[in-house]
Each structure stands twice: as C-alpha cells, then as structure tokens.
Amino acid sequence: MIPVPLTEIDIPSLQRERDGIWAAAVQAYRAGERWWLQGAEYQESERLNQDFLQSDPWQEVIAGKLSIPTAPSQVTTEYVLSDWLNISTDRQGKQEQRRVGAIMRSLGWENSTQRLNGTPKKCWVKNLHGTLHRVSPLDFEAMGQSAGAGDFLWGGLPDLAPTR
C-alpha cells in the first residue's frame, strides 16, 4: 500500500469500488503480504501524522523540562503538575493527571511503579524500547501466537514483533 495525498475524495467512485478494494485487501492479507509499516515507512508516517495532531500547550513545557541534561530519569505526575506546570495540589484532578499522562506517553515515557525514597510510587520512566504500539488479537494470529489478556500494548520497535 502506498499512501497518496489527496485534496478531494471522489465519494461516488469510492462507493462503486469499495467491495473490490476490500476484496483485494483481504486477498493480500490471506496471502501473507506485509500490512504494517516498517522502519523508514513508519517514521515517515509518524512525521506526516504530526500535522494532524492537536498540540497541548503543556507539552512544550514538559518536553523542555525532560530535554535538559539534568532531567530526572523518573518523575511523578504530581511533580510535573506542581513543579513544572505550577498547578497547586487543590487544582490537580483526574483531568489534569490524564492530560499529563497523554503528553508523557506521546514523548515516549511509560507509567511504572518505582521505588522513590524507599517507597513504591507510580511514576513515569523513559521507554527505552521505542514507542508503544496498540495491537489486536488479529495481529498475534498473523504472527502465529495466541493473544493473552495483557498483550494489547507493547513497547517495541515498529519492525519487531512483541517478545514474551
């Protein structure tokens, strides 16, 4: 499949050709053709998709704090909200926590339980394996593996299958 940028979509033509397009896609899938992006294709897709993402004003602040050489290797949501975004604890609700979480994930960090000052604490750590990719049970079938309940997210490179 090669993405082709369009400014207009001919809906009537697409409606006429829809069944044939799906039939060709199913046939290619069943024949074992690669249906996912790899390496440079994946990176180009990510670059092009950036134009369609909504940016959060907090992202620039958080990304800036994480990019300095003395940035922590792990950080809590509360710390990000209080120290980096200057939001008082009485204004830190679930909505703000989810917003920080979405930003941290988009920057390649993952939520983990770590020991901070000897106490287990939920915090964000840099995902050293690459971006998290959503996969479905069909993806595991295509790779000849059975999907388990916790197998729908993995941190891996786009061109590598998940390891167990």
pLDDT in tens, 20-57: 999 999 999 999 999 888 888 888 888 888 877 778 89
Report pLDDT for 119: 87
The reported pLDDT for the residue numbered 48 is 83
**Pairwise CA distance, residues 13 & 129, whole Å:** 43
Q: Are 124 and 77 in contact (CB under 8 A)?
A: yes
Provide the residue ranges of all domains of the chain, joining segments of one domain with +: 55-126, 129-164
Alpha-carbon distance of 103 to 66, in angstroms, equals 12
Nearest in space to 71 (alpha carbons), one of 79, 91, 16: 79
Residue range 53-72: mean pLDDT, rounded = 89
Which tops the pLDDT comparison, 133 or 53?
53
Mean pLDDT of the chain: 79
Q: What is the mean pLDDT of residues 79-93?
A: 95
Return the exposure string of 55-92: e unless at least 16 CB atoms fall within 10 Å of the residue's CB, then b.
eeebbeebeebbeeeeeeeebbbbbbbeebbebeeeeb
Confidence of residue 3 (pLDDT cuts 50, 70, 90): low
For a pLDDT cut of 90, what percent of the chain falls above it? 45
Query: For the whole model, what pTM was predicted?
Result: 0.52
In 132-160, which positions are buried (b, 16+ CB within 10 angstroms) versus exposed (e)?
A: ebebeeebbebeeeebeeebeebebebee
